[in-house]
Structures are given as C-alpha cells and as structure tokens.
Amino acid sequence: MEQSTINAVESIFEKGLSCLDAGNYKAALECFDEALQIHPHDHQLWRARGDVLYALERYDEGDDSYIKADEEEIASFDRGLEFQPYDRGLWEARGNALHNKKRYEEALISYDRALAIKFDDSETWVKRSHSLMELDMYPDAIASLDKALEFQPQNPDTWREKGNILAHQGRFEEAVNSYNKVLALQSDDYSALVEKGRCLVNLERYKEAIDSFDRVLAAEPDWWATWEERGIAYEGLELDEEALKCYETALQIRDSESGYTWISPDTLWERLETLRLNRLTHYDTLIANNPNDWETWLLRGEELSALKQYSEAIESFDQVLSIKSDFHNIWFQRGCAFLNLGDDREAIANYDRALEYYQESPMAWYYRAITLSNLEQYQEALINCDKALKYIPQASEVWETKGNIAWKLGDFEEAEQSYAQVLAIQPNAYRALFKRSMAFIQLQRFEEALVCHLHSNSLDTVSPEDEQDCIDSLQYAQSWYVWAEELIHNGTENYQEANILLDKALEMTPEMEEAWNLKAYILLQLGIYDESLAAYDQALEFNPRSEHAWFNRGLVLEQLNLYEEALSSYNKDLEIHSKNPQTWTNRGRVLQNLGWGDEAINSCDRALEIEPEYDPAVYEKASIYAIQGNIELALENLEKAIQIVEEQNLAETVNYRFLAYNDPNFDNIRHDSHFHNLTTTQLTVIN
C-alpha cells in the first residue's frame, strides 16, 4: 500500500476516533466504513467499528438504522480477529460485547482467549469474574479475582469486588478480611466501610459495626442508609432508644432529599414503626396507672403523630388540653396534626390559639405560613415567614420556604434573595443552589444562574477557573441547549426555565434542529399545543428525520383533535422507527378516533408482534373492543393488561383498573359485572 494511501486511512481513522469520543456515532461509523473500503484487512479498524456499533446499539434501540448495530457488532470483532487472531484487546472487546448482550458463556470463551495471549492481565481476569457471577458461578468468580490480585495485589477495587461476592455467599468473615485489604490501601473508602459494617452485623459483632458506620458518618453525615444500618446494629445490642434515634435521623435525611420517592416495602419505616409501637405500648401502661399524667399523654400524641396516626394523636392532645388548656405547644402540635390530615383551616385555628398563649413561637408562625401557602394566601404567608425569621433568623428551612412562596407569587427577586439567605447559612445546600439558579434564569441573569447550576451539580469544590469556563461557554448555542436539556432530564422538570434557555440558543443558531425539537417537547409538556406544533414543524424543516419529532408531533395533533394529521405524523415516524411499539399503539388510538376500528386493532397487533407483553397496546385493544361493544374481547384484553403490569411489579406505576374505571371508552360495557369486578378490586402488588 502506498504511503499516501496509508496516510489517508490514518487520517480517516483519527477523524472517526474523534467523532466517537464526541458521541457522534453515526459520523464515526461512516469514517470507519470509509477507511475499511480502502484497507479492509486492518484489524484495528474492525475493532473501532465494533466499538462504535456497541455505542450505537445503546444510543437508540428504537431506530431501525441502529438495529444492525446489534447484529454487526460481534461480526466486526470477528473480522478483525480473522486478520489478527493474537490481538488480546480484540478478544477482550469481543468478550465485553458478548457480556453486555448477556451471552455470558461465549464471553468467557473470549476472555479466556485474551488471557491465553496475556495471562497476567488483571483487568481481563476481573471482567471474566463478572461473567462468572452472572452465571451464578461464585467460587469460580472468586478464583478469577484471586488471579487478578495475584498480578495486581494493590488494586482496592478488586479486593472490594471479592468482598462483595464473599458477602453475597454468606462468607462474612472472609468478606471482612477483603474489605480490610481495601481499607489498608485507601482508608477513606466509605463504601468498603459500609459493607464491612454490614458483614460485622451479620457476624453479630455489633460494636465493631457501629465503629465502622461512625467512620463513614463522620465524613458523610447525610448518608441516610448508613444511619439505618447503624440503627440495626444498635438493635442488635438491644439499645432501642439509640436505634430509634438512628432511624429517625435516616428518615429525616431521606425524606428531605429532592425528588426522593421511596418504593415499598419501606424497611426503614417498618423498623422505626416497630420501635415506636413498643414505646406507645409503654405510654399506654403509664396512662392506665395515672390517667391525669398530661406529660405522658403529650408523649403519646407525639408518638402517634410520628406514626402518622393523626386523628388518634389529636385525641391524645385533647386529653392534655383538658388538664392544661393554656399549653401553647399542644395547640401547635394539634395544628400540625390537622395540617397532615389536610384540614388547613382547622390547622390555622390551632396555630392561632398557640400564638394567643405565646406570640413569640417561631414554629407556629412558620407552620402557619406553610398552611396559608396551601390555601394560596401567599402574601400573608410571606408575612408569617418574616414573623418566624424574627425569632429564628438562622433557620434555613424557613428562608427556603419563603423563597418558594415568593416564587409562587412570581416575585423572583424575593425568591432569589431568600435562597441566597439559605446559602449564607448552609453554603452546600444543593437544593437551594438549584432553586436560586432557576430564579436567576427567570431574572435573565444567566451567568449567575449557570455558576449556581454548576455548584448545585458538583460534590467537589468548584474553582474560579471552572466558573469562568462555564461562563465562557455561553457564547455557544450548544451550551444553552445542553443546559436546557439537563433541566428537564434531571427529575426537576423545570420546563419554563428550559424554554427560556432554548430561546437563547435559537437566537444564536436559528437553524438548530435539536433545540427546536426540545422546545416543542417542552411546550407539549406545558400544554401549549399550537406553539409546540409550530416548533416541531421548524425542527422537521431543518431535519425531516429529526429524532422523535414525528412521534411527538402526533401527540400534539391528538391533543388538538386533528386525528388525520396525527395519523400522518405517526406514519412518518414509522418510516423511521418501524419497530417502535408505542407508535403503532398511538396510531391504533388515532384510527379508532377516526372510526376505523378494525384498522386500529391491526395497528395494536403490530405493536404486539414487536413486543408481545407491551401492556399499553393490550389496554388500547381493550378500549377499542369496548367502544365496539365487544364485551368478551374487551374484558379479555383488559384482564391481560392488568396481569402484565402486576406480574412485572408495575401496578403502582400503571393502574389499569383505575384507568378503565374512569375511561369513557368503556362506557358501553360498564354495566357488565366482570368489568365492575376488574375495575373495583383492590390492586394486588406481587413482591
């Protein structure tokens, strides 16, 4: 091969690697394919092609252009091995690909071939152990890790993995020894300390376990799960009061986390509940001996409130008031119980009684503000926050609440200043940092907003250089787009603020298709359908194959009751993503709305050919049959949809019983007793 040709191949190869690093997988694949047309026997090119196909496979499984990635990835590695069968890296890459496809036995063969070439490669021994673990071959996995440690004994990650497997096997003493090896190499490895503590609990060495957990909590006091583990250790020592304190701390931290949602069964709450019920039994015994012991009645009410038994708590507080009616704290706690029962006006009345007896009660003013906010009396709520802050000016939670109330009033200046006060008290209050960033966006103070956003997303110290780099990035439209994307994909769903950022991106680059696409999606979520449709049309003008644009455009048109146009959009989406069951299902719904029931059923069936357990398609079929008055098939499909989600433990997320009960499409069969039983039966969650 001539030098000029070699240079051309190398240039294309380097360009492909750059595209791969930048996440531009399509362009990378095109580069490697172009290079292989010139030099089809280059094993490195085949490996790079396999790597990019793996990335493409993960990028979007719904796009037909990517389906080939799954089929060709291994084939690319195999072609490379035809030309260089002794390339250890190729065998390892092939093993990684097979492992990720859950073809673990084949992955092991590839890893073994890699080790036959380089026996002392510790990383391959570790990867080999992962496939063995997936096959439940734990002793062999441990042996594989031991080989890795033979060649690299100072690797803490390998010792940790060995400890994890040993713990999983119930070999807790050996696991502790492995975690000690980790800690000898890096004493501040908090993950190893936690796992070591768990093993010590299983060995009933509770004091040592507490020592291990304390080392973690000294550095990471907000790790609520470690507080729970510490409580378990104290229960092992039969120190229930200490255990209760740990569980209460864990629950307080956990439930304060932004966006936190706990999925049952909630073992932390169950442990806490058990100890509180024991304490409640003790209080009942004391009251039986002395019914006029108002202090015990108070403790009983507080315990019932902690157990979320608010009506019973109010009864206990009433017993206190029958003995000591001027005790402001009882009126306050009684108000909190009513607040938790959703009776805001009764809560206000109780807070007012508390303030009659003690005008300087900051918590009564604070909770009165919260309750007034619930009643949408925001101006008075702000005044109440200020009353509370007069007595507790360092209470960060009151400042944050004041900021939230000001936000609801649209007073972003006041909100920003309140969040700034939170940060003056707690500089690392990440939630306040984020909210302040959102207020800055509303105020068009973008540089300050971005710096706040940077700090809210970083657990490490942010340098002035990092801040300046972020600010400098605002000269690029892509930076505005990425920032907006983060705001809607991080669980906070700040659509309005993201929309402001996208407008800035589009000011700089009006032809930015992905920004129009995202803006359209945001407007769809905000229910601004006409503007959303216009934005999707803009995205498609710049790129007729714009990602998900045709699908989401169909959703918008459905909301506007423009079913024929929606059908056209879904058909266009299927030209690009023919194997997307969601599009086929939505198409079926539109066809039914157009009065084409049989075609609608066929469309849903196409979805089920692609994914036989796709419950939305099954439910849609039930809905269509119900409209047609076909009771038997409607009930058969509704029952199947319910069964699918309950067997997959999704019943708490998708409640087809409730949906069908309220869905007017089922009005034709609502009289049927089987339908009534299906839609009114208590959900069974299979654990």
**Alpha carbons 384 and 368: distance in angstroms, whole number:** 7
Give the model confidence (pLDDT) of 323-335 as tens digits. 999 999 999 999 9
| 60 plus 200 within the same structural domain | yes
- Would you tell me how many other CB atoms lie within 10 Å of the CB of residue 542? 16
| 610 plus 687 within the same structural domain | yes
Mark which of 345, 374, 394 sits at the end of a domain. 345
Residue 483 lies in a domain: no
Answer for the pair 416, 408: CB distance below 8 angstroms, yes or no: no
Give, in degrees to the nearest 5, the angle at Cα 652 between 651 and 653.
Answer: 90
| 32 plus 126 within the same structural domain | yes
Residue 400 lies in a domain: no
Residue 433 lies in a domain: no
Give the model confidence (pLDDT) of 128-182 as tens digits. 999 999 999 999 999 999 999 999 999 999 999 999 999 999 999 999 999 999 9
CATH of the domain at 72: 1.25.40.10
Element (H, E) at 299: helix 294-306
H, E, C per residue of 373-405: HHCCCHHHHHHHHHHHHHHCCCCHHHHHHHHHH
Q: Which residues contact 546 (CB under 8 A, 6 or more apart)?
A: 513, 514, 516, 517, 539, 540
pLDDT at 682: 54
Mark which of 345, 375, 393 sits at the end of a domain. 345
Single-letter amino acid code for the residue at 154: Q
Give the model confidence (pLDDT) of 367-400 as tens digits. 999 999 999 999 999 999 999 999 999 999 999 9
CA-to-CA separations, 147 to 138, 155, 635, in angstroms, rounded: 14, 12, 58
Residue 320 lies in a domain: yes
CA-to-CA separations, 538 to 185, 444, 504, 511, 553, in angstroms, rounded: 57, 25, 16, 8, 11
| Model confidence, pTM | 0.70
Identify which of 256, 201, 208, 204 has the alpha carbon closest to the alpha carbon of residue 228: 201
Q: What average pLDDT does this structure show over 276-286?
A: 92
CA-to-CA separations, 596 to 571, 576, 602, 665, in angstroms, rounded: 15, 24, 10, 15
In this model, does residue 253 exceed pLDDT 70? yes
CA-to-CA separations, 544 to 348, 557, 577, in angstroms, rounded: 57, 17, 13
Rounded percentage of the chain residues whose pLDDT exceeds 90: 73
| 177 plus 38 within the same structural domain | yes
Bond from prior residue into 265 cis (ω within 30 degrees of 0): yes
| 234 plus 277 within the same structural domain | no
Give the model confidence (pLDDT) of 295-312 as tens digits. 999 999 999 999 999 999
Residue with tokens 């045709």: 550
Residue 394 lies in a domain: no
pLDDT at 528: 96
- Taking the mean position of all CA atoms in its chain, how far away is CA 372? 31
Answer for the pair 641, 615: CB distance below 8 angstroms, yes or no: yes
Give, in degrees to the nearest 5, the angle at Cα 424 between 422 and 430.
Answer: 55
Q: Where are the alpha helices (DSSP H) in 474-596?
A: 477-489, 495-508, 513-525, 529-542, 549-559, 563-576, 581-593
Using N-to-C axis directions, what is the helix angle for 43-59 and 88-100, rounded to 10°? Answer: 20
| 237 plus 292 within the same structural domain | no
| 225 plus 287 within the same structural domain | no
Single-letter amino acid code for the residue at 336: C
Answer for the pair 549, 514: CB distance below 8 angstroms, yes or no: no
In this model, does residue 592 exceed pLDDT 50? yes
Q: What average pLDDT does this structure show over 582-594?
A: 96
Task: Identify the band that residue 100 occupies on the pLDDT scale cut at 50, 70 and 90.
Answer: confident
Task: Identify the band that residue 257 occupies on the pLDDT scale cut at 50, 70 and 90.
Answer: low
pLDDT at 600: 96
- For 401-432, letters b (16+ CB in 10 Å) and e give bbbbbbbeeebbebbbbbbebbbeebeebbbb
Which residue segment(s) compose the domain that 584 sits in? 579-687
Q: Which residues contact 348 (CB under 8 A, 6 or more apart)?
A: 335, 368, 371, 372, 375
More confident residue, 44 or 238: 238
Rounded percentage of the chain residues whose pLDDT exceeds 70: 94
Residue 287 lies in a domain: yes
Q: What average pLDDT does this structure show over 636-661?
A: 86
Residue 495 lies in a domain: no
- Would you tell me how many other CB atoms lie within 10 Å of the CB of residue 685? 12
| 64 plus 117 within the same structural domain | yes
pLDDT at 459: 67
| 73 plus 182 within the same structural domain | yes
| 60 plus 153 within the same structural domain | yes
When divided into structural domains, the chain yields a total of: 3
Residue with tokens 């206000």: 348
CA dihedral angle for residue 249, residue 250, residue 252, residue 254, rounded to 10 degrees: 160
Residue 446 lies in a domain: no
In this model, does residue 501 exceed pLDDT 70? yes
| 276 plus 230 within the same structural domain | no
Give the model confidence (pLDDT) of 64-82 as tens digits. 444 444 567 788 888 888 8
- Taking the mean position of all CA atoms in its chain, how far away is CA 317? 40
Single-letter amino acid code for the residue at 454: L
Task: Identify the band that residue 651 occupies on the pLDDT scale cut at 50, 70 and 90.
Answer: low
Mark which of 241, 260, 285 sits at the end of a domain. 241
Give backbone dihedrals phi and psi of 22, rounded to 5 degrees, phi first: -85, -5
pLDDT at 71: 60
pLDDT at 64: 45
pLDDT at 530: 97
| 86 plus 148 within the same structural domain | yes
Q: Which residues contact 121 (CB under 8 A, 6 or more apart)?
A: 88, 92, 114, 115, 151
Considering the chain, what is the average pLDDT of its residues?
90
